[in-house]
């Protein structure tokens, strides 16, 4: 899906043109998205998206942009929002982002960290800040570590580093599996998923970037080894999603093209911090991801099988940010045409998902006919969008 000039003239049927990306539309898409983040999304999610009464970030907004104050608070969403504001401050986009991130982190630590006297962070809170679900979830802890690393990068604060070390001790002492990787949660549950491991890999890379502590290279290396040994099928060139305790695959195999794309970007990050070449696997993952696209829009669909068939033709927002990041990683590696593909992916993101009547909001999922399936505006998507736009500015300019 390269950049092409539109075949339809202005005013013609938009549906006939929705898969076509005009060169002019793509040229300044990064600047448009950056402006959208600074002027719309960051202000929205720090005001309407912050619970000024009880503290903490709101989990989602109603369709009209009003806060859904009654929605339970998922702890990984709190962590993702902390990341967004710390990253925006780091980029120089949003000077007040540092204070917002610290405020969010203070709430997270006071409400979600060991409120029941057991180590680790709980899974979900009520809007009032009490424990709704006390399980210790590996995916949550990956994002808390990622948020802590991003906040630490701002000031190198010793207290934040102590929180990072305490979380690592919890992972090592309580979540580590004898079969490699981490348990899905405590209490231990099945199936095991590649997803928490992918985000722990991301968090270890972020921790190295923030601290330059070589131990994080080693920790990232453990997840890279797990990827090669268990998560990635080298024959079929697919990333497998679900496993038994011993890493045997659960059939039928599910392929999520968004995760295939996400690993492309993460492998580039691992190569950057270690010098370990990842080009072959990145090319394979990207080629496989591109098999699972919606014909009308060029967007990635949600799920396929292991031979390239589409299993679920719905399309979430987040796979579109990840295919953009995959192309950005390839552009950073000097692959011909990758920068154009990255901009085209960002245009699709802007056109289909960010064109919401609420400024700073988004559509989360569409069906095959382009009908919105989610009535609310989830905060969880902000991390994906902001990360894609910051990567685009740093690499594409």
The pLDDT tens digits of the residues spanning 302-341 come to 999 999 999 999 999 999 999 999 999 999 999 999 999 9
Q: Taking the model in full, what pTM does it have? A: 0.95
Over residues 46-71, mean pLDDT: 98
Q: In 3D, which of 366, 347, 251, 355 has the Cα closest to residue 302?
A: 366
User: For the chain, what percent of residues have pLDDT higher than 70?
Assistant: 95
Pick from 331, 262, 260, 253: nearest CA to 290 = 260
In the chain, what percentage of residues exceed pLDDT 90?
Answer: 93
Q: Is residue 11 part of a domain?
A: no
Higher local confidence (pLDDT), 13 or 212: 212
Say if 211 falls within a structural domain. Answer: yes
pLDDT value, residue 22: 84
CATH assignment of the domain containing 295: 1.50.10.10
Please say if the pLDDT value at position 252 is more than 80: yes
In a domain, 378, yes or no: yes
**8 occurs within a structural domain:** no
Classify residue 12: in a domain, yes or no. no
At residue 384, the pLDDT reads 98
- Number of separate domains in the chain: 1
Place of tokens 């060029």: 298
For the segment 141-164, what is each residue's pLDDT rounded down to a tens digit? 999 999 999 999 999 999 999 999
Tell me the per-residue pLDDT of 134-143, one tens digit each, with 9 for 90 and over.
999 999 999 9
Average confidence (pLDDT) over 356-366: 98
Any idea what DSSP says for residue 293?
Answer: B
Distance CA 40, CA 91 (A): 16
What's the CA dihedral at 315, 317, 322, 325 to 10 degrees?
130
Q: Is the pLDDT of residue 3 over 80?
A: no
- pLDDT for 39 equals 98
Contact, 84 vs 43, CB < 8 A? no
* pLDDT beyond 70 at 42: yes
Q: Per-residue pLDDT for 38 more than 90?
A: yes
Instruction: Output 17-22 pairs: Cβ under 8 A, ≥24 positions apart.
Output: 18/296, 18/297, 18/351, 18/352, 19/295, 19/296, 19/297, 19/298, 21/298, 21/343, 21/344, 21/347, 21/348
Domain that holds residue 337: 27-396
Cis amide prior to 252 (ω within 30 degrees): yes
Indicate whether 296 belongs to any domain: yes
pLDDT of residue 18: 60
pLDDT at 12 over 50: no
- Mean pLDDT, residues 99-117 taken together: 98
Give per-residue burial for 70-91: e unless 16+ CB within 10 Å, then b: ebebbbbbbbbbbbbbbbbbbb
Compute how many other C-beta atoms are within 10 angstroms of the C-beta atom of residue 39: 12
Q: What is the pLDDT of residues 210-239, one digit of tens each?
A: 999 999 999 999 999 999 999 999 999 999
Is residue 6 pLDDT above 50, yes or no? no
Quote the pLDDT of residue 8: 34
Residue 117 tokens, joined: 């006297």
- pLDDT band at residue 10 using 50, 70 and 90 as cut-offs: very low
Is position 212 within any domain? yes
Distance of CA 340 to the CA centre of its chain: 22
Q: Which residues contact 185 (CB under 8 A, 6 or more apart)?
A: 123, 135, 136, 137, 138
Q: Is residue 391 part of a domain?
A: yes
């Amino acid at each position: 899906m390269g950049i092409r000039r539109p075949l339809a003239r202005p005013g013609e049927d938009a549906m006939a043109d929705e898969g076509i990306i005009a060169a002019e539309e793509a040229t300044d898409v990064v600047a448009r998205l950056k402006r959208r983040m600074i002027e719309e999304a960051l202000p929205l999610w720090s005001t309407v998206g912050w619970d000024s009464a009880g503290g903490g970030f709101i989990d989602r907004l109603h369709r009209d942009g009003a806060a859904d104050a009654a929605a339970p608070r998922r702890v990984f969403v709190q962590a993702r929002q902390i990341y967004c504001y710390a990253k925006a401050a780091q980029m120089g986009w949003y000077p007040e982002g540092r204070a917002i991130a610290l405020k969010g982190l203070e709430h997270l630590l006071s409400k979600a960290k060991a409120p029941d006297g057991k180590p680790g962070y709980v899974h979900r809170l009520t809007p009032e800040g009490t424990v709704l679900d006390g399980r210790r979830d590996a995916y949550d802890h990956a994002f808390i570590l990622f948020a802590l690393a991003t906040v630490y990068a701002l000031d190198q604060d010793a207290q934040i580093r102590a929180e990072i070390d305490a979380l690592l001790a919890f992972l090592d002492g309580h979540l580590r599996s004898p079969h490699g990787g981490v348990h899905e949660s405590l209490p231990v549950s099945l199936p095991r998923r590649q997803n928490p491991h992918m985000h722990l890999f991301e968090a270890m890379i972020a921790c190295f970037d923030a601290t330059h502590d070589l131990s994080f290279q080693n920790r990232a290396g453990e997840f890279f080894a797990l990827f090669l040994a268990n998560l990635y099928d080298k024959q079929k060139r697919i990333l497998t999603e679900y496993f038994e305790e011993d890493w045997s695959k659960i059939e039928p195999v599910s392929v999520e093209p968004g995760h295939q794309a996400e690993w492309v970007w993460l492998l580039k990050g691992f190569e950057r911090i270690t010098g370990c070449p990842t080009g072959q696997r990145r090319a394979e993952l990207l080629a496989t991801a591109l098999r699972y696209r919606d014909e009308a829009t060029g967007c990635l669909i949600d799920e396929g099988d292991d031979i390239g068939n589409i299993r679920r033709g719905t399309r979430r927002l987040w796979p579109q940010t990840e295919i953009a990041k995959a192309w950005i990683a390839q552009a950073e590696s000097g692959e011909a045409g990758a920068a154009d593909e990255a901009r085209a992916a960002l245009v699709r993101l802007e056109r289909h998902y960010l064109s919401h009547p609420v400024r700073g909001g988004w559509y989360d999922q569409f069906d095959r006919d382009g009908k919105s399936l989610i009535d609310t505006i989830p905060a969880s998507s902000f991390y994906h969008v902001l990360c894609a736009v910051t990567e685009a500015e740093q690499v594409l300019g």
